[in-house]
Amino acid sequence: MLRPDARSRHAHPAPRPRRHPALPARRVCDPRVARVIRLASNECAAEPSPRALAAYREASTQLKRYPDAGATALRRALGERHGLDPERIVTGQGSEDLIYLVARSYAGPGDEVVVSEFGYSMFPFAVRIAGATVVAAKAAGVAPDVDALLTAVTARCRILYLANPNNPTGACLPFGEIARLQRGLPETVLLVLDAAYAEYVTAADYEPGHRLAATASNVVVLRTFSKAYGLAGLRVGWLHGPADIVDVLNRVRPPTNIAAPAQATALAALADEAHLAAVVAANAATRRRFVQSLTQLGLAPAPSEANFVLVGFPAAPRDAAAAFAFLRGRGILGRRMDPYGLAAHLRFTIGTDEEMSLVLEALADFLA
Ligand code: PMP
């Protein structure tokens, strides 16, 4: 017998899903705008390495074959490049896939998972899908606060997710703070260090956390080819962690989860160190100029170690919502921060120098 509410929503009997969180609405640009400058998703300003694109084309000749389920060559190359044991690496369809994989492998109904206020939105989504409860620790300004994170950990806590650098704020904790967080955690709590933006960091006191993942029993590090390598469309991420955790994730993930062209392209991108260095240098220079100019305009950019900047706006009528609409009218897509509880801010990806000049011009006109 259908419950009355189910009957009213479905004309016919249908499979009933578990309760899942709603996704935020996607905003699109005015279709009349000729050129759209996409600065909403923290994609790379540059095209991928030409060597990566050549590998992608070459892989297209082998499409009738299944991919290597173990992504062996890619894991071996990652191990060599970063000085890690390839047996302790597991690949995912982007790091978001690994965020979900960890949540459903290590947390469920009745469990708690700690995240930071103003932290990456994918963490709470993954936790809720897994059926566990999200506990958000207060941030210090817009940066994650290690003491608040530790205080939020109860006996029911199974995972603590932390993006460092943090998206959407750009804040980056020094390695000493990460090590202090790990020391303060019970060994039963899995510390997930999401280092999606690690390549972009210029601060000398930063480490993604592989040293901890190699030695502690409860730390994993997430990395991705979507950002500095410019391969967001391919969906390749990886996780480094203790052997028994990697073993669990290998059992839970779908066996052939990384397409063959994705494996080959990521491998070639990894080998082009000069290309990566140029991307990172350009990002740092453009980010510095963008932040300086925003300050001159009277706006409030938050310090960022990543390829995006969180920008504080004044009160209405020159507020963040009005700026977003004004820029969108010129084809410039930033990101509203209301879903993060940062309604007075917009986040802009660092695009090319030319793109950021157009953003600054538009912002100057908006504020005039
Ligand atoms: N972690 C963080 C902090 C991110 O900002 C993003 C992308 N926005 C991801 C993970 C997911 O990236 P991907 O799945 O493309 O690797």
pTM: 0.94
Q: Indicate if ligand 1 lies below 6 Å from the C-beta of 196.
A: yes
Closest C-alpha to 226, from 216, 215, 212, 236: 236
**Domain span holding position 307:** 25-47+274-367
Q: Indicate if ligand 1 lies below 6 Å from the C-beta of 224.
A: yes
Q: Indicate if ligand 1 lies below 6 Å from the C-beta of 226.
A: yes
Closest C-alpha to 182, from 205, 206, 213, 155: 213
| For ligand 1, mutation pick of 95, 235, 335 (most atoms within 8 Å of CB) | 95
Could you give the CA distance from residue 368 to residue 363 in angstroms, rounded to a whole number?
Answer: 8
Closest C-alpha to 164, from 155, 152, 173: 173
Q: Is residue 297 part of a domain?
A: yes
Q: What 3-state DSSP class applies to 311?
A: strand
Could you give the CA distance from residue 123 to residue 116 in angstroms, rounded to a whole number?
Answer: 10
| For ligand 1, mutation pick of 90, 91, 122 (most atoms within 8 Å of CB) | 122
| For ligand 1, mutation pick of 93, 101, 116, 167 (most atoms within 8 Å of CB) | 167
Q: Indicate if ligand 1 lies below 6 Å from the C-beta of 264.
A: no
Contact partners, residue 239, CB within 8 Å, separation at least 6: 89, 90, 91, 92, 95, 98, 102, 220, 221, 222, 223, 246, 249
Q: Indicate if ligand 1 lies below 6 Å from the C-beta of 164.
A: no
Q: Indicate if ligand 1 lies below 6 Å from the C-beta of 116.
A: no
Reading the block at residue 159, the tokens are 């995972």
Quote the ligand 1 centre to 121 CA distance (angstroms): 10
How distant is the alpha carbon of residue 272 from its chain centre? 22
* DSSP for residue 62: G
Same domain, 32 and 158: no
Same domain, 218 and 134: yes
Quote the ligand 1 centre to 318 CA distance (angstroms): 30
Alpha-helix residue ranges (DSSP H) falling in 138-297: 146-152, 175-184, 210-215, 243-252, 260-271, 273-296
Could you give the CA distance from residue 51 to residue 230 in angstroms, rounded to a whole number?
Answer: 13
Contact 258, 71 (CB under 8 A): yes
Q: Indicate if ligand 1 lies below 6 Å from the C-beta of 163.
A: yes
CATH classification at residue 80: 3.40.640.10
Contact 97, 235 (CB under 8 A): yes
Atom of ligand 1 nearest to the CA of 96: 14
Contact 218, 190 (CB under 8 A): yes
* The total number of structural domains that make up the chain: 2
* DSSP for residue 31: T
Q: Indicate if ligand 1 lies below 6 Å from the C-beta of 93.
A: no
Per-residue pLDDT of the chain (368 residues; tens, 9 = 90+): 445 555 555 568 888 887 777 766 665 666 677 789 999 999 999 999 999 999 999 999 999 999 999 999 999 999 999 999 999 999 999 999 999 999 999 999 999 999 999 999 999 999 999 999 999 999 999 999 999 999 999 999 999 999 999 999 999 999 999 999 999 999 999 999 999 999 999 999 999 999 999 999 999 999 999 999 999 999 999 999 999 999 999 999 999 999 999 999 999 999 999 999 999 999 999 999 999 999 999 999 999 999 999 999 999 999 999 999 999 999 999 999 999 999 999 999 999 999 999 999 999 999 99
Same domain, 353 and 223: no
Quote the ligand 1 centre to 368 CA distance (angstroms): 35
Same domain, 149 and 171: yes
Same domain, 237 and 311: no
Quote the ligand 1 centre to 2 CA distance (angstroms): 40
Same domain, 91 and 226: yes
Q: Indicate if ligand 1 lies below 6 Å from the C-beta of 165.
A: no
How distant is the alpha carbon of residue 54 from its chain centre? 26
Could you give the CA distance from residue 337 to residue 339 in angstroms, rounded to a whole number?
Answer: 6
- Domain end among 227, 253, 271: 271
Quote the ligand 1 centre to 223 CA distance (angstroms): 9
Per DSSP (E only), the strands in 195-318 are: 219-224, 237-240, 300-301, 308-312
Could you give the CA distance from residue 232 to residue 197 in angstroms, rounded to a whole number?
Answer: 13
- Domain end among 271, 289, 321: 271
| For ligand 1, mutation pick of 26, 162, 226 (most atoms within 8 Å of CB) | 226
Could you give the CA distance from residue 247 to residue 343 in angstroms, rounded to a whole number?
Answer: 41
Same domain, 182 and 281: no
Closest C-alpha to 349, from 121, 193, 168: 168
- Domain end among 240, 271, 302: 271
Tell me which H or E stretch contains 126.
helix 122-129
